[in-house]
Amino acid sequence: MTDDLFSEAVRRLDRAAEYARIDSEALLRLSSPRAVLEVSIPVRMDDGSLQVFRGYRVRHDDTRGPTKGGIRFHPDVNLSEVKALAFWMTCKCAVAGIPFGGAKGGVVVDPKSLSRLELERLSRGYVQAIADFIGPETDVPAPDVYTNAMIMGWMMDEYSVIRRRRMPDVITGKPIPLGGSLGRDDATGRGAYNCIRELQRIRGWNPTDLRVAVQGFGNAGQHVARLLAEDGCRIVAISDSRGGILRENGIDIPCAIRHKNSGQSVYSEQSVCGCPVCGEADCHCDEGPLSGSTLISNEELLELDVDLLIPAAMENQITSENAPRIRAPVIVEVANGPITPDADDILSSRGTLIVPDILANAGGVTVSYFEWVQNRTGDYWSTDTVRSRLQEIMSREFHAVYDRMTEQSIDMRTAAYAHAVSRLGEAIACQGTSHYFSASPVHS
Ligand code: GLU
């Protein structure tokens, strides 16, 4: 198993360190995870057979607080990916200025192939396997790719059974009646939307002039598309794992969301490629979201001549191979790690503005932090309070990163890492570095 994704991810630190005051020992600490757990999860399947699934949980760094990060159920999960995702969580929490470190978990599984009961048994089995590794003051999981509020609810319940008391603060992204936070569901998309709004103000863009393409139509992709469409932006292309659609006049996003999320399965059986002419009573479109649209591939979507490109699917979508063909002048990374470092260099040298993942998708973990605070205090907030506190954090940190980018003449990703690294370095230095320990003793 190669460690490519993790080592590539960590290399970003070296560049950032040139622009931030950080001790080399702090960099050394951040270049390997604090703890890595690999587990096997035996699950009794509906047909009576036994399947054993592989799972991981990685805690990258806890200097700034308990580690925090989602759990992903996906066939491509591997240790290097989970380590990279945990590292990004450390940086993301530091960029957002919330008192958490970074972690991530994953199970190698195609969750769409499981029944509901199998999915519940797997979710509970995973928690049984990692129960000694997580906890409200050590490591707090959350949803990620192909995990949702219901799965978080099962996991919270399983942990509470193990600890023999109710512990909602062990996991975030739970259903509201089980201690979830209002406003958590759309928080990742909304945080990205807050960043785009700030960019609009700085650049003087008129939303109705913006043509947008969104790759990935899961939770984050749907909400950012919806919020932008509500502002009058034209969402000309959307896609999911099965392909995408392009409609020059703009896609009716509420219709596309309704279609995508219809069906009885835990996971959407519908693809945006099959959006019907809807004709539903509460539909805003006259002709249906698909009329006048063409089917395109995910690769074609990325290369469209749009004003704003939003990769909201998986990592490594824009590589050195397709980067020269990317035409959007602005990319907002709602997925984690959608652009490889090589591709990043190509795009940055061409002047593409990339709002990096550790800033653009920090809204999810920020509202997870709010959820954890609410669980621990027992004081529950209104949707308006959650949204305004999220907006305050996203706007403040967006401007801190943007200003650093302009002041230091660097790309926005380097600026975001430099911002994160200064906060991390400051926290690590409080515990003492070689400068402190090798200096002459205070009392001789
Ligand atoms: N999985 C999300 C992320 O990558 C949210 C993590 C969290 O809420 O802890 O940021």
Q: How long is the chain?
A: 444
Cα of 184 vs centre of ligand 1, distance in Å, is: 11
Question: 213 and 310: one domain?
Answer: yes
For residues 237 and 225, give the distance between their C-alpha atoms in angstroms, rounded to a whole number.
10
Question: 228 and 297: one domain?
Answer: yes
For residues 306 and 301, give the distance between their C-alpha atoms in angstroms, rounded to a whole number.
9
Question: 140 and 229: one domain?
Answer: no
Torsion of CA 36, 42, 45, 49, to 10 degrees: 140
pLDDT in tens, 109-144: 999 999 999 999 999 999 999 999 999 999 999 999
Give the nearest ligand 1 atom to 362 CA. 10
Our count of domains for the chain comes to: 2
Query: Residue 287's CB: how many other CB atoms inside 10 A?
Result: 13
The answer to whether position 344 is within a domain reads yes
pLDDT in tens, 137-188: 999 999 999 999 999 999 999 999 999 999 999 999 999 999 999 999 999 9
Domain that holds residue 106: 35-178
Cα of 102 vs centre of ligand 1, distance in Å, is: 9
Give the nearest ligand 1 atom to 367 CA. 8
pLDDT in tens, 250-262: 999 999 999 898 8
Q: What value, to the nearest 5°, has the Cα angle with vertex 411 and ends 407 and 416?
A: 80
The answer to whether position 350 is within a domain reads yes
For residues 239 and 219, give the distance between their C-alpha atoms in angstroms, rounded to a whole number.
13
- In the predicted structure, residue 77 carries a pLDDT above the cut 70: yes
Question: 81 and 194: one domain?
Answer: no
Cα of 397 vs centre of ligand 1, distance in Å, is: 17
Residue tagged 């693809």 (tokens):
271
Question: 68 and 51: one domain?
Answer: yes
- CA 147 vs CA 87, 158, 260: distances in Å: 20, 16, 16
- In the predicted structure, residue 286 carries a pLDDT above the cut 60: no
* Beta carbons of 324 and 344 less than 8 angstroms apart: no
Which CATH number does the domain housing residue 169 bear?
3.40.50.10860
Give the per-residue pLDDT at 266.
Answer: 66
- In the predicted structure, residue 345 carries a pLDDT above the cut 90: yes
Question: 286 and 146: one domain?
Answer: no
Question: 241 and 158: one domain?
Answer: no
364 lines ligand 1 (CB under 6 A): yes
Average pLDDT over the chain, rounded to whole?
Answer: 93
Q: What is the pTM of this model?
A: 0.94
178, 212, 235 — which closes off a domain? 178
Question: 221 and 312: one domain?
Answer: yes
The answer to whether position 303 is within a domain reads yes
Which CATH number does the domain housing residue 310 bear?
3.40.50.720
Catalytic, 260? Answer no
